Amino acid sequence: MPAKKKKPMSQKERAMRAQVKKDLQAQGLIPPDKPRLNRKKFAKEVWEEFEALDMYTADCYLRRALGCMVGPEMLEVTPEEVGVLKLMKLAVEWKKFSDRLRAEGREQYTLGEFAEEVVNPVLKL
């Protein structure tokens, strides 16, 4: 038998649920609502903090942070972890690109070449 389709909540039911939630929050039984993250502000702040670190300190702690986010044995991979893994893949592909250029005796490349061979393939994953 097909699953029974749930009917949408009425306005009265929504209001009742909202009131119950408010009461439970006031009693301290459930935590208060978290404010939404201002992503642009967060990104700017993090970028500035990271830029303030010296290169070796940043590299050391970035590697540790990557280890906290992802690992070789992951049971479930969240969208956030996919983003971290793409960052790691981008670093690996950039290294391969640099090695290939060195083998060809080149030191310079165009942004289009870099985007086509390194960035775009990783972003399309």
Tokens 């702040």, located at residue: 45
Residue 66 has what pLDDT? 93
Average confidence (pLDDT) per 10 residues, the chain, 125 residues = 79 94 92 91 95 94 93 90 94 95 93 94 92
Amino acid letter for position 107: E
Mapping DSSP onto H, E and C, the string for 92-105 reads HHHHHHHHHHHHCC
**Where along the chain do its domains lie?**
37-68, 77-125
Residue 2 has what pLDDT? 66
Half-sphere exposure of 109 (CA within 13 A, CB side): 18
Residue 4 has what pLDDT? 78
Widest Cα–Cα separation across the chain: 73
pTM of the model: 0.69
